Homo-oligomer: A and B are copies of this chain.
Amino acid sequence: MEELTWNNPAIADGIAAIRTGSPFVYGLTNYVAANLSANVLLAVGAGPAIGAAADFPTVFPAGAGAVWINTAALISNPAEPLADAARTAHEAGSPWVLDPVAVGAGATEYDAFVKSLLDHRPTVIRGNASELIALSGGAATGKGVETTASAEDAIGAVEELARRTGAVVAVSGPTDYLTDGTRTVAVPGGDVRLTQVTGAGCSLGALIAGALAVVPDALTATAVAHAAFATAAERAGARTVGTGSFAVALLDELSLLGR
C-alpha cells in the first residue's frame, strides 16, 4: 500500500499553505477536546473559532475555509446547531470534517443523530476503528471513546463507508489508513502517548479541517494533517518522558513544523 509521510513534499507544502493562508476554521466540538484542538490549529497558523453561540452555526460555516464537527459537542449543545452547521457548510460548499466520537459504544439515540449528519455530506470522516466500523453498519465494538478493534480490521469498512458517502474516510491507529473508496494510503508513525492525551484524536479532526481549507484535494489534505501530526508526535515523543510533557511538546513540534 502507498505510504505518505513528512518526507513527501506535498505534506510540508500543505502545512506551509496553512501558515501562508491563515484560514478561518470553524468547529463544533466538545469541551474536553476544544482547547487542544484550537491550540493545534493555532500552532500551524490557522485561525480557529469554536462553539455554538447564538447564530454562529448558521453564519460562520459559510464564511469559513473549512468546518469540523465533533459529535461529542452534544455534551454541551443540543443537536440542532450541529445539524445547522453541517447543513450550512454543505450548502455553502465549505468542506467539513465529521468526527463521530463514541458512535457504536451503546448509546443508540446518540448514534442515530450521528448517522443523520451523513445527509449533509461530510468531506472527510475521521475516527478510530470501532467508531468507523459502527458508522459503516458493522457491529458495535467501542468502549466509551476507545476502540477495541484495530485500524487494520477497519480497512474494508472504511473503504465501503467512503464509497457509500462520497467522503474521504480516515481511521487512526499505530498506522493510519485514509481512503476515498478507490485509493487507500497508509500514514505510519506517531507515538503511543497520543492515546494517553485526551482529545488528541479530536484535535487531528480539527487539523484536517485546517488542511482542507487550503489544499484542494480532500485525500491529500487529510494526508497532510495525518502525516504532520504523526511527525510532530514522533519528535515530541523522542524528547519527553510522561504524558504531560508529551502533550506540550506535541504543540511545540506542530508550531515548528517546516520552519
Contact = CB atoms under 8 A, between A and B. Distances in A.
A74 interface: yes
A198 interface: yes
A24 interface: yes
B107 A42 contact: no
Contacts of A79: 54
A146 B22 CA distance: 11
B38 A50 contact: no
Given A242-B251, A242-B252, A244-B249, A53 B35 contact: no
Nearest to A30: B51
A249 B246 CA distance: 10
A82 to B, nearest CB: 10
A252 B244 contact: yes
A47 interface: yes
A102 B54 CA distance: 12
A259 to B, nearest CB: 10
20 contacts: A32-B34, A35-B36, A38-B199, A39-B197, A42-B243, A47-B143, A47-B144, A49-B144, A51-B76, A53-B72, A53-B73, A54-B110, A56-B107, A56-B110, A60-B107, A242-B249, A242-B251, A243-B251, A244-B249, A245-B248
Given A24-B146, A42-B197, 17 more contacts: A30-B50, A31-B32, A31-B34, A33-B35, A39-B244, A42-B243, A47-B146, A49-B102, A53-B102, A53-B110, A54-B107, A54-B113, A59-B106, A60-B144, A242-B252, A243-B255, A245-B249
